Structure 1
Amino acid sequence: MSKGRTALVTGGARGCGLAFARGLAEAGANVAVFDVVSPDDAFNAIEKDCGVRTAFYRYENLRLGNRVTNWARVDISSQESLEEGFTKFQMDFDNALDICVPCAGINRHLPFLEFTYKDHQDLLSINVLGLYFTAQLAAKQMISNKTTHGSIILVASMASHIAVRSQLCSAYCGTKGAVKSMCPAIAKELAEYNIRVNTISPGYVRTEMTASFPHLLEGWKSEAMNGRIADPEDIMGACVFLASDASSYMTGSDIVVDGGVTRW
C-alpha cells in the first residue's frame, strides 16, 4: 500500500503512464502527472474514484494581449520546462514526494540506414535525458523532504534486452538500454538516502504509441507465450509493487513484463 504518499508520473495522460497513475491512486497515493497532451477522461475520474488528490501539469499556450506565453509547461526534453514543472509541483504539494515514475517516451519506426541525427536526438532528449533529469529532480525533492519511502521507477522496455524483430527501432532499443543500464548506478548512489531505484521493462502493450503500427499487432501476438498483446493495466501491478514496501529490499533491479517474449 502507498496510502498517504505522493507520486509523480511523467507521460501519465494516457497509455502505461495513465495506468501507473491509476494503480498508485488505487493504492492510496496522491498523484501528479506531467505531460504535453491533454489527459484522458480516465485520469479525471481518478480523484473521485480513489479518494486521493490529483493534479495535471501540461503545456499550454496562453495568449495575453499580443503576447503568447507558456503556462504550466512540462516538456521533459527541456531542462527549463522540467525544472519549472517541479517548482510548481513542489509548491502545490508542499514539497511532498515519495514515488516517481518517469514514463514519458517516444519511438520512431525507421530503418537504421535512414535514421537522421535529428530523429535520434529527439529520442535521446526524451527517453534518456528527460528521464534521467526527472529522476534527479525527484531524488533531490525526496532528499529535501526526508521521505523514508523513496522509490523511483524508471520505465525501460523489453527492447533493452532484445532486438525487436518486427520493428525498425534501433535508436529506441539504444535509449531503453541506456535506461536499464543507468538504473543500478543511480540506485547505488541514492541508497544512502533510503531511495530505491528500479526499472520496469514492458513488452508489447496496446497504447496510443503502438497504435501507430496496426500492421504489426497480429504478429506481436504470436511472439508472446500467452498469445496476446498486453493492456496497460497488465503492466500496472509491477509499478505498484515497486512503489510499495512489499519491494523494500529491491533496488537496482529490472522487472520484465512481456508475456514471455524475451524468454523463448
Structure 2
Amino acid sequence: MKPQKTAIITGAGQGIGLAIAEKLAAQSVNLILNDLEEGLITEACKRISHIHGVSALAVSGDSSSEEVIEAMIQAGVRNFGSIDILVANSGITLFGAFLEYSRADFMEVTRVNQAGTFFLAQAAAKVMKDQPNGGALLFTSSVTAHQSHENLGAYAMSKAAIEMLAKNLVLELAPFKIRVNTIAPGATVTNRTILDPDYEKTWSEITPLGRPASVRDIANAAAFLVSDEAKHITGQTLIIDGGWSSVSPSPYA
C-alpha cells in the first residue's frame, strides 16, 4: 500500500479551498487546513474526517503570519512526518479605482497575497527538500493576472506576482524534486459570489462555455496538478475560466 500523503491547504473553510480539501481527502490525503475563521475550519475538518476517514487538523489564523505558518508546518511534520502538498489558496480582494486606491489597502493585498504565499511556500519547501520524493506546491492566482478587470489593479498585480514566483522557483526547487504550479480561476460560484443575485447570470452570458466555474471545477484541476499524474509539470499556470480570457467581455458592459 502506498503511504498516505499530507497536504496543507490555506483558505480552506469554504469555497475553492474547501473543495480542494474534499477532493484530496477523497484520495486519502491527510490534511492540515487553515482559515482565518476558526469556526469554519474546525467544522470543515470534522466533516471531512467523518466522511472520508482521513485525518484533518485545523490551524486557524492569518495564513500570512509567521506564527501561523510555523504552526501549519509543525502540525504536518509532528502528526504525519511529511508535507507532500502545499496549496497556498488564501488571499484577499480589495476593490478600488486606481486613482483613489489607498496605500493601506495596497499594502494589505500585498502582505496577504504575495508575502503570505512566498513565505508559506518557503517554509514548506524547507521540509520537502529533505524528503526522498520532494513535494508539490500549488498557488492560487486569478484570471485577472492575464486580463484586465476594472477596479482590481492591486489584486491583479499581486496574482501576477505569484505566477512569476512559481516560474522562478523552478530553478531553485526542481533539484529537490519539488514542483511548483499555479491555477488561475476565472468567475467561480462560491459562498461569496453567490451573494450577488446577478453573478451567475452575468457570467453565464459572457463565458464561452455558458456558465461560471463551480468550485469542483477548480478543485479537479488543482488535484491533478499536485498529483503524481502531473509529475513532469512544473512552472506552469493553468487558467480555468470557461474560455473567458480568450474573448474577455466586461461583466460591467
Give your verdict on TM over 0.5: yes
Query: Which position in structure 1 is the counterpart of 2:102?
Result: 116
Aligned to 2:155, which of 162, 172, 179?
172
Task: Map 1:57-68 to 2 at 5 A.
Answer: 57-59=59-61
Question: How many pairs are equivalent?
Answer: 244
Aligned to 1:44: 46
1:156 paired with 2:141, answer yes
What TM-score do you get using the length of structure 1 for normalisation? 0.86
1:243 is displaced (CA, Å) by 1.2
Aligned with residue 205 of structure 1, among 188, 194, 197: 188
Q: 1:189 to 1:9 in 2, by over 3 A?
A: same
Residues 16 and 233 in structure 1, CA contact (< 8 A), matched pair in contact too? yes
| Structure 2: distance between partners of 1:209 and 1:119 | 20
Find the partner of 2:67 among 73, 80, 84: 80
1:217 CA displacement? 4.4
Deviations 1:4-25 (A, max 9, x none): 1111101111110001111111
- 2:250 paired residue number: none
SS, match of residue 86 in structure 1:
helix
Q: CA deviation at 1:187?
A: 1.8
Tell me which of 170, 186, 195 is aligned to 2:178: 195
Provide the C-alpha distance between the structure 1 equivalents of 2:97 and 2:4, rounded to a whole number of angstroms: 46
Against the structure 1 CA distance between its residues 157 and 125, is the aligned structure 2 distance closer, same or farther, given a 3 Å change threshold? same
Alignment deviations for residues 51-71 of structure 1 (CA, whole Å, 9 cap, x no partner): 211111113xxxxxxxxxxxx
Write out per-residue CA displacement over residues 202-225 of structure 1, whole angstroms, 9 at most, x where no aligned residue: 111122343465555432222211
Decide whether aligned partners of structure 1 residues 245 and 168 sit closer, same or farther in structure 2, where only a CA change above 3 A counts: same
Checking the alignment, whether the CA contact within 8 Å between 1:196 and 1:252 is kept in structure 2 is yes
Q: Work out which of the residue numbers 187, 199, 211 in structure 2 matches 1:228.
A: 211
Q: Distance in 1 between matches of 2:193 and 2:155?
A: 13
Distance 1:168 1:213, change over 3 A: farther
RMSD: 1.9
Contact kept, 8 Å, 2:64 with 2:120, in 1: the verdict is no
Aligned to 2:30: 30
- Percent identical pairs in the alignment equals 32
1:162-205 deviation line (CA, Å, top 9, x unaligned) = 112xx421111101010111111112210000010011011111
Answer yes or no: is the 8 Å Cα contact 2:193–2:199 preserved in 1.
no
Greater displacement, 36-45 / 247-256 = 36-45
Answer with 81-90 or 17-26: which moved more: 81-90
1:126, CA displacement in angstroms?
A: 0.8
Structure 1 gaps, min length 5: 60-74
Task: Say which SS state the counterpart of residue 45 (structure 1) adopts.
Answer: helix
Aligned mates of 2:90, 2:98 — CA distance in 1? 23
Counterpart in the other structure of 2:87: 101
Report the secondary structure of 2:129's partner residue: helix
Q: TM-score, normalised by structure 2?
A: 0.89
Counterpart of 2:127 in structure 1 is 141
Segments of 5+ residues of structure 2 without an aligned counterpart are 248-253
- Closer/same/farther in 2, CA of residues 124 and 117 from structure 1, 3 Å limit: same
